[in-house]
Structure 1
């Protein structure tokens, strides 16, 4: 154990250091100058500090206050030596952070006993702190494992959705990437951006419940078929309902609400503006953009400028204006996700 002893009197300092050095396992560093001692404490955390009260320039209470101002010395025991039995002085020292007192002249045996008791407490505190760090590391590791498992489940479920529709796989990843980019441009927290990249991959989860005759139809849907197709939002919400993690709750909101519109004319529930979860508002823009920029059985792909014009036109109607503005600010990076093989605008795909 490392002890710091501070006393401006050379003889007293030698006695204190000698008593401490007589105990196996104790090492003492001695200082006559309080400022020099504090400088050393700035570089090293001792297990026990013993400081005299009466010193020129800076007394023992001043030293204690300086040490307690350092978070590293918050729990280090500090003993003040004084020949003054004044109660007010001791109260002031306790308020400053003194742990215990020794009277002058110091009794060597009393010093050894008091120091041993305080060092035992110090060892216990250190052990508890180490244990707390260890437990925190274990919790962090367990949290990482849970997150990795969640990510794996999401990727496997996204793969299952992809098997239902040959065109879905690349669409899922592009929507996820664009959603993450828009979230980042909006200045949302890093964890939100990471979550939306994963959760957006499940935006069409409900399509696993659609009949092949509708999902794989090589042409436009009838009005009745469109009503069945729209049920994929409700089915996706049911599949992901009652999640216990932020990630799954976000995936639920996206699956259920990514076809809601800013103006309240979307489906399945006609939500509008901020009543639509932010994650779903972001994915809504990304989803429609990808639908415009890629070929579908019922339409060719639009070129970048035509798609951009359409998204801007729908700002404040279908889409949250803030999400559209963020998308426009990162437009070059988003455009780079698509090969330049699209045709000029043919029809309104939104």
Structure 2
């Protein structure tokens, strides 16, 4: 039977029509105020008029950016290195336009991509995400400039010119604890968890993927990153201390997801710094895969000295293998990027 534009469709049908995941559609509903309102909210979910959805999709020129957060409550698990390496791999090997959003006050992703000298320059001028959150604390203080803050073509990897950055600042450490008391705007229209979403929504469509490097906590700044994300990845060393907080992450994000009424899918655990001769690493990895809650990516990032060397920003261009080594590490990042694209049903 031919489809009638006056037919009613649900979230699954919209996802199929746009060739994206159900989570992506949920993300559009949260991100775009002009997304069509449902005609009814049934027990099975909201239903929409097909014609209005088609018009909206054409207007938005779908496909659009897919946003993923990376988070772990434990430091030293290669979360930031993974964020940057995957961004550079997606750009250089798969031709994707990638935005890295650095929400971690340690600023490691920022310095990996633009170097410490450039970071100090823009930090002194207030061209970091710390200014966005500082503005929220004072309704009369509107200094944040998205155009100046957005750093373009930041990677030193050949072929990764499509990687852009929204940089972090050490000032985020002082700002986070104060955000809970930030003014909510007229008619309570702006909440502290919506600050990032409102600030960056105009540029997200410029990218295929957006990777958010979250702080090692579940505070308001992390929730800002999750608020714009359709899913999240948990990079972890397979030991007791690094995996201890995973159930807390899954539970807290699940509760947050339900509270805002949008899906934020646990895309999976990525095992990092794996040592084959470690009984602990072997046993913990096995237990994580056995529990499968959340699922564990097939790709494993092994321990490698090149991880530390890759963090050093260089003045000239280098290949992905020159940055991450000619051995196993580069290959694993490529394999993981491929696995991530497949999981998110994005054409490689």
User: More relative contact order in 1 or in 2 (CA 8 Å, sep 6+)?
Assistant: 2
Name whichever structure is richer in helix by fraction. Answer: 1
Name whichever structure is richer in strand by fraction. Answer: 2
